[in-house]
Amino acid sequence: MTSRTFGSRFVLLVCMFAVMFAIGAVGQSTSTISGTVRDSGGAVISGAKITVTNVGTGLDWKTQTDATGNYQVTALPTGTYKLEVSAPSMQKVVMTGFVVEVSRTIQQNFNLKVASANEEVMVTGEAPVIEASTMTVGTVINEKTVQEIPLNGRHFVDLGLLVPGTVAPPQAGFLTAPLRGQGAFAINTAGQREDTVNFMINGVNLNDMVQNQITFQPSINTVEEFKLDNSTYSAEYGRNSGAIANIATRSGTNNFHGEVFEFLKNDYWDAKNYFANTIPPFKRNNFGAAIGGPIIKNKTFFFASYEGTRQRQGLTVNQTVLDNAQRTAVSDPVSQKLLPFIPTANALGAPGVCATLSTQCTFTGAATAPVDIDQWTGDVSHRLGESDTMHFYYAFQKDHRGEPILQGNNIPNFGDTRQSHRQIGTWNYAHTFSPTVVNEARIGFNRISITFKPNNPLDPTSLGISDGVSGPIGIPQITIAESA
């Protein structure tokens, strides 16, 4: 029988502030549409007017082609757009249903024919199969997939398994092993370690800078779509050697939309562990609501959500412990004080497990591992003027998790309770100086605060353990193993 102590409190705080500027370059969470306008003979058309309108919000961006017939519209949020191209004595071309995905540079060229001033050509847009403007190799998980695909636990990071180059994590993964009730905090993609992935939300870092994992899983109801670049991505990202996960959050539109949901899982269909007497209890409720819409139509929009999780899980414990004769034979004063914390044997041992098979030497039971998670999210986008757009996003998560048999012990009552606050805030501001100069500024913060509290906050000296540590830091962890 061995024992060791662990600290009763550990607080991790990570704060990050970042300001990023881009002039005439693609943003990290917004997108760009560029191309060339020519006439029917292939000659470029300078001064052609380009209007890009977001169908959902009514916001538009205007520019015109330069002397070489090229145009570029940057800092566009995700969504479905309408593109209008016009030039004197040319047919006006209107393209509808043009989908702009997160962190894309989309090449869209136009050919105008000579026509009367009132003639107009309607074209239906299609999403490009290949991103011809950059060397980046990546995959976009669109809104329909994000919102509708069934996920066990509804954890956002699991969507990364849909991307080519991503592999299922090993059972003993470092950051990829699912955290109880909260899912995995990283993925293995493009042959890289899980701690090399750079998670970004609205262009702001969402990584825990200590372990380099995602700070927390944003509610899947707040994710518009995300893109995972796992090869030859732009140098503007830097920092990480692995993949870049760009998350775009949902914003409101000119129409009100809302949802209320409840997902339930329980132990009704669970199979019994062969070595256990009963099926451990399990019940998980995942519930919440979201609403988005206009504050001022065609100008200011909001999106707000709440998601809660209540999980009650029983962990099967099937462990060799001291039989009655061994308990009686304990004579060491410290060990005698530790005996009340060791459960009494209630089952016979399996062959080869206990030295004496005729007596009870195994404890079979369950330990309770509760998980409570609450997450609130707010999103506001505002059009200040024809050349200025602002977007604000904030998410706060409070979670409470009990781990009764973690940290190396193998019997109940020697675990801890973990409470944490996690939050992310982003602010984006885009200003168009001219058809060729656009500035996008971002400011964000990312914070984690975690406290580990022992379930039995006793003073080790009260048990006769004098190792230089005193105070209510928790009783020693105990691992029981049968000697040869």
The tens digit of pLDDT for each residue in 362-384 reads: 887 778 889 999 999 999 999 99
Q: Are residues 88 and 200 in the same domain?
A: no
Cα 367 from Cα 415, distance rounded (Å): 10
For position 305, what pLDDT does the model report?
Answer: 96
Is residue 471 situated within a structural domain? no
Please tell me the predicted confidence (pLDDT) of residue 306: 97
- Asked whether residue 155 falls in the same domain as residue 73, the answer is no
Residue closest to 62 by CA, chosen among 45, 77, 83: 83
Using the predicted structure, report yes or no on whether residue 56 has a pLDDT greater than 50: yes
Whose CA is closest to 399, among 369, 425, 371, 368? Answer: 371
- The number of folded domains in the chain is 2
Q: Please report, rounded to a whole number, the percentage of residues in the chain having pLDDT higher than 70.
A: 86
Among 43-47, 350-354, 418-422, where is mean pLDDT lowest? 350-354
Collapsing DSSP to helix, strand or coil, 144 comes out as helix
**pLDDT number for residue 477:** 67
- Residue keyed to tokens 């009990």: 402
Say if residue 309 is in the same domain as residue 410: yes
**Same domain for 163 and 84:** no
Q: Is 329 exposed, middle or buried (0-12, 13-18, 19+ CB in 10 A)?
A: exposed
Say if residue 92 is in the same domain as residue 117: yes
Give pLDDT, residue 194: 85
Per-residue confidence (pLDDT) for residue 461, from 0 to 100? 83
Q: What is the pLDDT of residue 6?
A: 31
- 241 lies in which domain range? 2-19+136-317+365-460
In a domain, 419, yes or no: yes
How many Å apart are CA 53 and CA 254, to the nearest integer?
13
Is 42 found in the same domain as 153? no
Mean pLDDT of all residues in 47-61: 93
How high does pLDDT run on average in the chain?
82
The residues facing 18 across adjacent strands are 444
Residues 292 and 265 in one domain: yes
If asked whether residues 165 and 144 sit together in one domain, one would say: yes
Question: What stretches of 40-126 adopt beta strand conformation (E)?
Answer: 49-54, 60-64, 70-76, 79-86, 92-100, 105-107, 110-112, 120-124
Q: Which two tokens stand for residue 259?
A: 């949802």
* pLDDT score for 133: 61
pLDDT of 21 reads 32
Instruction: Report the distance separating Cα 184 and Cα 170, nearest Å.
Output: 12
Q: What's the pLDDT tens digit per position in 297-318? A: 999 999 999 999 999 988 877 7
Winning range, highest mean pLDDT, from 12-21, 27-36, 438-447: 438-447
**Do 402 and 376 lie in a common domain?**
yes
Q: 0.85 exceeded by the pTM? A: no
Quick check: is 283 in a domain?
Answer: yes
- Residue 88: CATH number of its domain: 2.60.40.1120
Q: Does residue 24 sit within a domain?
A: no
pLDDT tens digits along 120-163: 777 776 666 556 666 667 788 888 888 888 888 888 888 888 88
Instruction: List pLDDT tens digits, range 255-275.
Output: 999 999 999 998 888 887 776
